[in-house]
Amino acid sequence: MSRRPLSPPWLDHASRALHAELRGDRAQAVEIMNDLNQRWPGQMAQVLVAWIDTAGKALGMNDFQPGINLAFQHATTGSRTANADDVPREVAWTGRLFAARLAGDRDSFAALLEALPDDETASLNCLQVLTSSALIINRSKGARR
C-alpha cells in the first residue's frame, strides 16, 4: 500500500480562505488569511503558489507555459489592458506574480516576493492574489457550463 504525502499544515487554512472568497464571503476569507499569516508567517509564499496553481488548473494549465502575455481584465466592466500602469499597484503585482508562476519563471517570482514590503501592502497584495484566484476559478466554471 502506498502512502499519501502529508499535506503542509497551512493547506487547510489556505483552502478554506479560497473557498470563502469563492462564495463571496470576503470577511471570512480575510479572517482566515490573517489567521494563516499569524500561524505560519514564513509560508505565505507557498500559500500564494497554491492559490495561483489552483487558478491555473481551473484554466486548464497543468504545466508551466513560458511566454505568457500579461493582461488585466476589470472584474465588473470587462475592460482589458496589457499596461500594468493602468491598474492599481497590487493588481499589477498580482498579475506579474501569476505570470511568473504560471510561466515557471522562478527568478521573477522570487524577485516579486522579495520586493514585497512586510507591511499592510503585503497583506493587500496577498489578498489580491486570493481575490484574483477566486475570480479566475469562478469565471472558468462559468465558461464550462
Taking the model in full, what pTM does it have? 0.87
Asked if 72 contacts 81 with a C-beta cutoff of 8 angstroms, the reply is yes
Asked if 128 contacts 94 with a C-beta cutoff of 8 angstroms, the reply is yes
User: Is 9 part of a structural domain of the chain?
Assistant: no
User: Is 94 part of a structural domain of the chain?
Assistant: yes
Domain that holds residue 132: 44-144
CA distances from 53 to 34, 58, 130, 132, 142 (A): 21, 9, 11, 12, 19
Looking at the 3D structure of the chain, how many domains does it have? 1
What is the pLDDT tens value at each position of the chain, 145 positions in all?
455 567 898 999 999 999 999 999 999 999 999 999 899 988 999 999 999 999 999 988 877 777 777 888 887 888 888 888 899 888 999 999 999 999 999 999 999 999 887 777 788 899 999 999 999 999 888 754 4
